[in-house]
Amino acid sequence: MLQYKRILVGVDGSQSAKIAFQRAITLAKEGEIELFIAHISEEPMPTPTPLDIDASMIQYVGQQNTNEHLLQRYEEELQTAGITQYRLLNNAGSPKNELLSFASMHNVDLIICGATGMSTVERLFIGSVSEYVMRHATCDVLIARTPERKTEATGASIKSTTYTSNM
């Protein structure tokens, strides 16, 4: 059986990211696994003009504090779960590209992402991080879904027949 040694989890504070994080903890408890917990903020806004520099700095500092607080919560959960081999990664940029870059840089065996919460229109125009990572990663990718998301049977499935051998 394939044994993962280095797992990267993309987190953003969403419910699906929390589920992805929990999956990573479960796997990490099964063996000698190093976890990389990555939070990537969207790329910063263009450089502000002198008139709005104060507002931009307040927003930037506020975002940094939020990011640090989020990673602290994840770190507390790791410690509570008894996970000792982990790194917290914090960066700004395109989450799609940064996750793949981190995976390559750290020789990751598995990337775990939460399923997207975007609408169909949003996915059409900008695409989801998990979909992009799944299509472009050079390692295995696990898309963690929320337990509430169940597909309802519509009755429009392909009919199947069971055959038994008389031998």
Each residue of 71-111: pLDDT tens digit? 999 999 999 999 999 999 988 888 889 999 999 999 999 99
Residue ranges making up the domain that contains 3: 1-7+18-45+68-85+95-148
Q: With bands split at pLDDT 50, 70 and 90, how would you rate the model's confidence at 163? A: low
Nearest to 26 by CA among 70, 82, 76: 82
Task: Please report the pLDDT score of residue 99 as a whole number.
Answer: 94
Exposure string over 3-32, b if 16+ CB within 10 A, otherwise e: ebebbbbbbbeeebbbbbbebbbebbeeee
User: pTM of the prediction?
Assistant: 0.73
CB hemisphere CA count around 113 (13 angstroms): 24
Q: Is the pLDDT of residue 53 over 60?
A: no
Total tally of structural domains belonging to the chain: 1
Q: Is residue 161 part of a domain?
A: no
Q: Is residue 25 part of a domain?
A: yes
Q: Is residue 100 part of a domain?
A: yes
CATH of the domain at 74: 3.40.50.620
Q: Is residue 125 part of a domain?
A: yes
Chain center to CA of 58:
27
Q: Is residue 127 part of a domain?
A: yes
